[in-house]
Amino acid sequence: TTAQIGVTGLAVMGRNLARNFARNGYTVAVHNRTVSRTQALVEEFGHEGAFVAAETAKEFVAALERPRRLVIMVKAGEPTDAVIQEFAPLLEPGDMIIDGGNAHFADTRRRERELRAQGIHFVGTGISGGEEGALHGPSIMPGGSTESYESLGPMLEKISAKAADGAPCVTHVGPDGAGHFVKMVHNGIEYADMQLIGEAYQLLRDVAGYSPAQIADIFRTWNTGRLDSYLIEITAEVLSHVDAATGKPFVDVVVDQAEQKGTGRWTVQIALDLGVPVSGIAEAVFARSLSGHAGLREASRGLTGPKPATLGESEAATFADRVEQALYASKIVSYTQGFHEIAAGSEEYGWDIDLGKVASIWRGGCIIRAAFLDRIRAAYDARADLPSLLSDETFAREIAAAQDDWREVLVAATRQGVPTPGFAAALAYYDALRAERLPAALTQGQRDFFGAHTYRRVDREGSFHTMWGGDRAEVSA
């Protein structure tokens, strides 16, 4: 038998992806460094479809029809290079290596270049949806050559999630590292969404005085409206869960130190390199790292703050509505920032990414899937060269309608001492963008004063410098 596709790396993701291909009628060659995993897969799930178990790399490659399609689903980083080095010598021109791990897009660009020299298509592919998504349909973000997508696209469309309108959640994002770049930003946006939801929860608890179970109900209600999304849905589930051992809300027995694997951090690092202000995403990454500084937090416990006071019942309900507005407005801003980063990456690397398509393939399967993404898609469909999501009429109108409540929520948070870096950064971004004048003019004056860095004038072309140390005359620079 020849397999149409092969998967090497059979931990949770690879195993489920292989099963997904098999369940969709493909013959799947499976391979793993530790052979027992391959055997376990075939023993447990062999009845689901056609698997060809391969013990060695040679057997694995021999099992594949040509041109070969070989999916790598191993730990990102050095293991990926090790696996490529193991398989590449066994492949022929025209064969495809699909890396479905969470690779850094710069690594993907390097690997693509190296393998292209050998005539092998390297397809760095972002896959989102976790274990469940891999099995039932993930959102898939492939980069690599157009030619490779012609061969792979139909298979990926089959195993991918489908949006509500039936469209498969996969598209050829762009050449070389474009897919992994977009997956990286997806994760950055995911961090921001989670942080904003966390802030909403904290406000509902500490300002409105609601219990986790009550907050779960509020999130359930929100989930029937414009915030309808997977993350809001699971938030309600987590908040209503009660710890069996203690009878306490689950959220109260979990150590409040958030961990991260790195894709959110990359999103911010790359944004800094590209000069894109992703302040909301950055605050989300920083909030996780702050939470993890246990010693610093312990040492800061004695610092004073305002006296906590919670609202009465009807005020609390009004406040909850306001928090919904603040959350929605802040969410618009974090997606605005994330899409700006994708546009900037596309420009820098010549990827020609279709932003509307990106929004479209995030509508299903992935962690940030939401009704909201349909609106983003519509915004870019209406105008592909939209300078910013905030310039879309619908979003601008919605944020205008939300802003009074958004500001009130931040006033309450500040007065009560509830940290809301995500909400605050989003509002600051909004206010800075719409500002007539920014203090950047003063910054330029300071820079010219201490470093003769020069400045431009509002009324004349050219660069200028003021002789700060002398008679303060202005000279053309």
Tokens for 31? 């391979």
**Of the candidates 27, 102, 330, 334, which one interacts with ligand NDP according to CB under 6 A?**
102
* Peptide bond connecting 138 to the previous residue in cis, omega within 30 degrees of 0: no
- Out of 44, 55, 190, 408, the active site residue is 190
The DSSP element (H or E) to which 52 belongs, if any, is: strand 50-53
Q: Which of 65, 162, 183, 283 is catalytic?
A: 183
**Which tokens belong to 65?**
């029809």
Q: Is 12 annotated as a binding residue?
A: yes
9 is in an annotated binding site: yes
Please answer whether residues 14 and 5 qualify as being in contact, where contact means their C-beta atoms are separated by less than 8 angstroms.
Answer: no
Torsion sign over Cα 430, 190, 372, 239 = negative
Q: Is residue 33 near ligand NDP by the rule CB under 6 A?
A: yes
Nearer to ligand NDP, 179 or 212 (CB): 179
**Residue that the structure tokens 């492949």 belong to:** 91
Choose between 130 and 153: whose C-beta lies nearer to ligand NDP.
130
Q: What DSSP line would sit under 50-70, residue for residue?
A: EEEE-SSHHHHHHTB-SS-EE
Shortest distance, position 131 Cβ to ligand NDP, whole Å: 6
In the block, tokens 């989930």 appear at 223
Structure tokens, 383: 């105008």
Residue 275 counted as an annotated binding residue: no
Exposure string of 58-80, with b = 16+ CB inside 10 Å and e = fewer, is: eebbebbeebbbbbbbbebeeeb
Rounded Cα–Cα distance for residues 438 and 465 (Å): 20
Q: Which helix (H) or strand (E) holds 8?
A: strand 5-8
Residue 466 lies near ligand NDP (rule: CB under 6 A): no
94 binds ligand NDP (CB under 6 A): no
Element housing 319 (H / E): helix 313-349
- The least CB distance from residue 78 to ligand NDP, in Å, is 7
Does 34 bind ligand NDP (CB under 6 A)? Our answer is yes
| Alpha helices (H) in 160-229, listed in sequence order | 178-206, 212-222
Tell whether 34 is in a known binding site: yes
User: Rule CB under 6 A: is residue 83 a binding residue for ligand NDP?
Assistant: yes
Q: Which stretch binds ligand NDP (CB under 6 A): 73-81, 239-247, 333-341, 466-474?
A: 73-81
Q: Which residue, 140 or 332, is less far from ligand NDP as judged by CB?
A: 140
| Angle at 337 (CA atoms; ends 207, 124), nearest 5 degrees | 120
Q: Which of residues 200-229 bind ligand NDP (CB under 6 A)?
A: none
Residue pair 83/9 in contact (Cβ under 8 Å)? The answer is yes
Is 13 marked as binding a ligand?
yes
Distance CA 95, CA 88 (A): 9
CA 109/CA 194 separation, integer angstroms = 29
Number of residues that bind ligand NDP (CB under 6 A): 22
357 is catalytic: no
183 a catalytic residue: yes
Q: In the stretch 121-160, what mask flags binding to ligand NDP with x, by CB under 6 A?
A: ------x--xx-----------------------------
Smallest CA-to-CA distance from 11 within 102, 111, 81 is with 102
Q: Can residue 12 be called a binding residue for ligand NDP (CB under 6 A)?
A: yes
Nearer to ligand NDP, 84 or 333 (CB): 84
Which residues are annotated as part of the binding site for NADP(+)? 9-14, 32-34, 74-76, 102
Which residues are annotated as part of the binding site for substrate? 102, 128-130, 186-187, 191, 261, 288, 447, 453
Site residues for ligand NDP per CB under 6 A: 9-14, 32-34, 37, 73-76, 79, 82-83, 101-102, 127, 130-131
Enumerate the active-site residues: 183, 190
Which residues are annotated as part of the binding site? 9-14, 32-34, 74-76, 102, 128-130, 186-187, 191, 261, 288, 447, 453
